[in-house]
Structure formats: C-alpha cells, structure tokens
Amino acid sequence: MNSATRLVALFAAFTPISLAAQTVNSIDLALAQRIDRIAAQVLEQRGVPSASVAVVKGGKIVYTHAYGKAHLTPDVTATPAMRYSIGSVSKQFTAAAILILQEQGKLSLDDAVGKYVPGLTRGDEVTIRQILSHTSGYQDYWPEDYLMTPMMKPETAQQILDTWAKKPLDFEPGTKWQYSNTNFVIAGEIVEKISGQKLMEFLGEHIFHPLGMKSVWNSDEAKLTSTDATPYIRAALGPLRLAPKEGRGWMFAAGELAMTAHDLALWDESLIAQSVLKPESYKEMFTEIKLKDGKGTHYGLGVDVTQHDGHRSIDHSGEVTGFVSANEVLVDDSVAVAVLTNHMAGGAGEIAQLVATTVVGGGAQTEAEKLTLAIYRDLQKGHIDRNLLAPNLNDYFSEQTVVDFRDSLAPLGEPLTFKQAHEELRGGMTFRVFRIVYPGKHLTLSTYTYPDGKLEQFLVDPAD
C-alpha cells in the first residue's frame, strides 16, 4: 500500500460517527445546568455561533454538550458529533509522537535537530527539546491572528523551513521563550523521517486508534465536511462571515487536527491515566522548561504548564481561521474540559476555565466565605442585616446604596464561584478580598472586620 493509499484508508477510518457515540451525560443535573449556563452566557457575550464541550471528571468523560449554531445559513444546530479544528492543541500530539520515538530508542530529546533535518540555522546546536518547548529561537511563520493572502495558497513543510528556519535565530537557543509554529513543523518533519510514516498515520497507529478517537480529521489536507461545524470570522464589530481556508500544507504538525470535543476528551483521559506514554515521558511533557538563566517558561513539551486556582493545569489553546479551542487538564484532580468553538472571537478559554472551576469545586467554604456570601445574597435582594455592621458601614449603607447594590447585582444571579483570595491585618481589623466569578464578569468584594465580628467595610467592584 503506497503512502497515498494509506492516507485514504486512514481518512476512511476517521469518518463521521453516530451522535449516540458522542453524547454522554453521567453527572448530576445541577452540575450540568451550571455548565450549560456558563457556555450559553459566554457565547452570547462573545457573539460566538457555537461551542462543543466535553467534561472529564474522575478520569472519565461524564458530560458532552453542544451549544448554538454550527452553521448560520442554513440554520444548523450544533451537536456533539460535529468536528471543529483544534488548531495548536495539535502540538501536544506532535510532542507525544516525538516522545514515543524516544521510547522506541530512535531519538533523544537532547539530539540536535540538524541530525534529522539538515540545513537549518544552527541545527547542530538547537535540540529537539528546545523546539518542543519554544526555546529554540526559530522565527514563527504565523504570529498573525488572521489569514494572510500568501497562506491561501498551498505550501510544503520544506518551503516553510526554507523561509523561516534558515533565517538568523531570534535569540540564543535556550535563553528566551517565544511561541513559534515553525518549531513544530520541524518536529513533524522529524517524526516522518524517523518513522517512515506520515505524521497522521503515525498518530493514528499509536494514539488515535488505541484511544478510540474515531472522529479525527486532517484539516490541513481537506476542509471539514458539511456535517461538521462551519468556521466564521468578523471584521471589527461587523457581521459574522464565512472564514477562508488556509492553503494545504500550512498547518501540518503545528495545527492540522480536527475532531469532536468528545474525542479530544478521550485524549485528556489518557493524559490523566498516563495510558499511552511511559511515566517518564509524561514527566518530560508536563515539566516546566527552564531557561539557561533559571527562569521558568510556564511551558512543557507542547503544553502550557500552569496553576489554575492552585490546581496543576496542563493546558493549551488553539486557533486556526474561524476556529478557537481550549483544552484544560487538571491532572492531579482527574478533571479535564475540552471546548471547541467556530469563531475567532474566542470564548473557548473562558468556558474551559469556568467549567473546570465548577467541576473541581472549591471544597468546603470557610466561615468568612459563608458569612460574606450570605450578606452578598441579601444585598442582591435589597436587604442588609444592620446588626452585622459597625457604625461607619451602617451609615454607608443608606437606603439608596442598598437599592444600588440590589439593582446592579440582582440581575447577575448566583455566582459561579465565590472564594476568598486574600487576607491580612490592617488598622486593628482583618482585611479580606473575595473573588466573585460570573460568565463574562468577575467582581472583587473587600471587607474589613473588627475582632468582635462587626463589619467596617463591604465594597463590590469590577475585578481588574
């Protein structure tokens, strides 16, 4: 079977699948409703046509749902079985392919890239680890957030490297962090040269097939089908318009994948369970790369390595023309959220973070949180228990002030999260700051409390 025939066979294996295979609902109704509320409100505020969301809890997919319109003319409702391009979330799959080759003894992360891809600037110095962590110095071929005219024409990986990876480096290898799609074109070339397979074939054999990711599509080779989500763009605040398509070859190993949110969540399950790679490979992927001066980069190998409200997060966003994605995996909590949208306005990351926070939960509330939230809820109804207030704050809460609190806060409804963020002593009182999160709106609430429990301050402001 030649390469072209193998590629056709691969696409045949990744054809549209039944809706039943993609719809999962095994969480309680209240949590599902909170997730639905987050997604619906963010879409409305951002003007995004649709989103597909998959949630992992306890290491397993527990909820999938789609929101909004996958296509506007004609009007088509989004479903969980529809595919979206995931953009740069693809990079973690390319990084995993490199790690698999290292497990097979065919390369080392510390090999020079020039060992496998000749002719690159300082290819005998830059390592595979540096290209996977964006510390190589190779210039990004696509930093723009729109599709330029030259990118509407076909291009090959070699042409991209000839143009961008043979320029002088932007910085000395290992001394800075700078996101660069060029790095992953090099990585994709390495995978193909060492394995003797197309990157999609290699990923299919080692990742997609074993995990049952049946919806995966190479959107670099061909645009998504009429049964999938349609990409949209907007000029300034103008109307939504169909997005143009990148020319064949431009996305390759940096952003070629499309799939359902459900199948991306299958990959997230494997990251939590560490079921595809060896433990040492996951450690390599999830460990923050340090620069030569010791500074952290908040990036591992193909993934962001961050903290989400104190929880370790392995995450990444993705963007190709008309699609934006976000994939957040709280590996220590066995929670993940995959969000795919069909508009460049974003919103995917906001949905992912809010849903992750909601699914993880904040644990038991402190007494200060319970009391402060109770007062906040009363003010939403236009009431204040003046027995809780010191004289100055009692004066502050005039009849008009209470009305202003009610009229401005009541429409927001119940907060998604209400957590204390800071506490210190000042002026003989305890000063506390609480963070209040709604979809599309974050507030801060500050209080001063005397030792006898009386409140001297209770102020609500937009968060910075």
**Predicted local distance difference test score (pLDDT) of residue 136:** 98
Burial class (CB in 10 A: 0-12, 13-18, 19+), 256: buried
Question: Residue 327 and residue 335: Cα distance in Å, rounded?
Answer: 11
310: left (phi over 0), alpha (psi -120 to 50) or beta: left
Residue 346 backbone zone (phi > 0: left; psi -120 to 50: alpha; other: beta) = left
Which amino acid, one-letter code, is at 302?
Answer: G
Please give the pLDDT value at position 145.
87
> What is the distance between the alpha carbons of residues 410 and 378, in angstroms, rounded to a whole number?
10
> Is pLDDT at 35 greater than 70 in this prediction?
yes
DSSP for residue 138: P
Q: What pLDDT score was predicted for residue 361?
A: 77
Distance between first and last Cα of the chain: 59
Q: Rounded mean pLDDT of 149-172?
A: 96
Mean predicted confidence (pLDDT) in 141-146: 90
Q: pLDDT grade, residue 201 (50/70/90)? A: very high
What pLDDT, on a 0 to 100 scale, did the predictor assign at position 310?
A: 83
Q: What percent of the chain has pLDDT over 90?
A: 84
Helices 367-380, 399-409: axis angle to 10 degrees equals 100
Does the structure show a pLDDT above 70 at 9?
no
Q: What is the pLDDT of residues 257-301, one digit of tens each?
A: 999 999 999 999 999 999 999 999 999 999 999 999 999 999 999
| Average pLDDT value over all residues in the chain | 93
**449, two tokens:** 């409390």
pLDDT at 253: 96
Residue 362's pLDDT is 58
**For residue 271, what pLDDT is reported?**
98
Residue positions counted in the chain: 464
Tokens found for residue 193? 């040269």
pLDDT value at 237 more than 60: yes
CA distance 37 to 55: 14
**Residue 363: per-residue pLDDT:** 59
- Which one has a higher pLDDT value, 7 or 295? 295
Torsion of CA 457, 366, 308, 297, to 10 degrees: 70
Residue 20 has pLDDT above 60, yes or no: no
> Over the stretch 294-328, which tens digit does the pLDDT of each residue have?
999 999 999 999 998 789 999 999 999 999 999 99
Least trusted range by pLDDT, from 66-75, 124-133, 149-158, 412-421: 412-421
Residue 457 — φ and ψ, nearest 5°?
-150, 145
* pLDDT tens, residue by residue, 89-130: 999 999 999 999 999 999 999 999 999 999 999 999 999 999
If we measure between CA atoms, which residue out of 17, 89, 77, 27 comes closest to residue 52? 77
What would the pLDDT profile of 379-421 be if each residue is shown by its tens digit? 999 999 999 999 999 999 999 999 999 999 999 998 888 889 8
pLDDT-wise least confident of 143-147, 280-284, 319-323, 450-454: 143-147
| Portion of the chain with pLDDT greater than 70, in percent | 95
Q: What is the CA radius of gyration of the chain?
A: 25
pTM for the predicted model, two decimal places: 0.86
Is the confidence at residue 15, as pLDDT, over 90?
A: no
